[in-house]
Amino acid sequence: MDDEGFDNLQKRDGPFEHPCTALRKLLGDGSFYYSADFDLTSRLQERSVDASTFDFDNFDKGYLWNSYMIQPLVDFRSRLSPQERTALDSSRILTSAIRGYAATLPISTHDTATTRVDRTTQSATLTLISRLSCRRAGTRFNARGVDDDGNVANFVETETILWTSSDFCFSSVQIRGSIPLFWEQSAGLLPGQQKISMSRSFLATQPAFDRHFEDLEIKYGPIYVVNLLSKEKQGELDLSREYQRHVVACSLNKRQGGGASSEHVQLKHFNYDFHAETRTGGYEAASGIRQYIHEAGQGFGFCLLGPIDEHASSAGAADAEKQLHRTVMVTQQQGVFRTNCLDCLDRTNLVQTIIGHMTLDAYLDQRAERMTADMLARHGTLWADNGDVSLL
């Protein structure tokens, strides 16, 4: 029914809610992002270095919120000839939609890698993309923990991308998500007084716990858990203890043959009582976490795309050589930080900001550069805005 037909129905039979009201409200809440020519569902490391490539077959279904809407078209596309497929792609009917946060800010950097006195200011852009998983989605108190397929509530992949005018593109990814146990929290009137309870035994929980981290390891490599739960609140303390028990028993560590204390385990767990650490020094004191996770961050590295020049003979009169510019994968990220607090909101976002800053610093150090005041401010702005999104 179009708007005109609905208006006529209202005049004849009295006021009715438009059948699309709920859908309009959902899509208009500012948390959905789409692109007709760019795969928003995948991190830079998983995409082709060819920026023009838009591979519908490789969408990450975990972040593709409109998958049910476009799947029939994707199936139809797979049966077309190359020419017909190109025509369909050029129509831009197919789009990838994510839910979360996405923003890009222009920044300026100084080329400190050169010894020239007249250092020039380079143009660059800093982008932050947060992808909320469409699996196990739900409201705060109705979606907690893990399901039998290993999906957790409020699971978000956040990617920081720095592009410079020298055509180098840096990317770093970190994740957050609810504690992957079967647990519940009652909805109470007073914050912090909601009772936390486990809904399954240790043995009944371990298979889903293992499945969750096995999936993460396949996608990201080794996982470093940063757990920000309090050691003073009994409910959070109980959750932390159960979390650590399951990490020790996790299949990723058992298959190493060295237990959770091995130097080569695929899953490590670190407890950091955020509230205790920031009680006297304020939120600025949270930056002290860097000393504990710096070594792991150095090992994980980051994704870097860079230009390469190649010489090729032209078909000209003198077979003169011409230079071709191509983008290649220089380095890849080899692991990921998985951060959580109770709701994976404020505490988690602040610590993820610190981790993002740490990784960006590591990249700039390799280029004999440092983070400028402008870059630091805009990095903080992007993460603050990311934290303001109620979903994240």
pLDDT for position 250: 96
Residue 128 has pLDDT above 90, yes or no: yes
Please tell me the distance from the alpha carbon of residue 177 to that of residue 345, in angstroms, as a whole number.
Answer: 10
Could you tell me which of 226, 105, 218 has the C-alpha nearest to residue 160? Answer: 105
pLDDT tens digit sequence for 216-274? 999 999 999 999 999 999 999 999 999 999 999 999 987 655 444 455 679 999 999 99
Give residue 86's Cα distance to chain centre: 30
pTM: 0.85
Please tell me the distance from the alpha carbon of residue 6 to that of residue 182, in angstroms, as a whole number.
Answer: 46
pLDDT tens digit sequence for 142-160? 678 999 999 999 999 999 9
Could you tell me which of 173, 279, 168 has the C-alpha nearest to residue 232? Answer: 279
pLDDT tens digit sequence for 333-370? 999 999 999 988 999 999 999 999 999 999 999 988 88
Please tell me the distance from the alpha carbon of residue 244 to that of residue 260, in angstroms, as a whole number.
Answer: 10
Could you tell me which of 146, 387, 339 has the C-alpha nearest to residue 225? Answer: 339
Segment (H or E) for 35:
strand 32-35
Please tell me the distance from the alpha carbon of residue 3 to that of residue 23, in angstroms, as a whole number.
Answer: 15
Q: Cβ-count burial of 392 within 10 angstroms (0-12 exposed, 13-18 middle, 19+ buried)? A: buried
Find which of 68-72, 78-82, 264-268 is predicted with most confidence, using mean pLDDT: 78-82
What DSSP line would sit under 150-212, residue for residue? S-BTT-EEEEEEEEETTS-EEEEEEEE---SS-EEE---SSTT-PPEEE-S-HHHHHHHHHHH
pLDDT for position 262: 52
Residue 116 has pLDDT above 50, yes or no: no
Give residue 246's Cα distance to chain centre: 24
Q: Cβ-count burial of 146 within 10 angstroms (0-12 exposed, 13-18 middle, 19+ buried)? A: buried
- Where does the chain have alpha helices with state H? 3-13, 21-27, 67-78, 82-91, 202-220, 234-249, 251-254, 274-278, 290-300, 346-366, 373-388
Please tell me the distance from the alpha carbon of residue 117 to that of residue 334, in angstroms, as a whole number.
Answer: 37
Beta bridge mates, 184: 197
Give residue 178's Cα distance to chain centre: 14
71 versus 250: the higher-pLDDT residue is 250
- Type of residue numbered 61: K
**How does residue 111 score in pLDDT terms, banded at 50, 70 and 90?**
very low
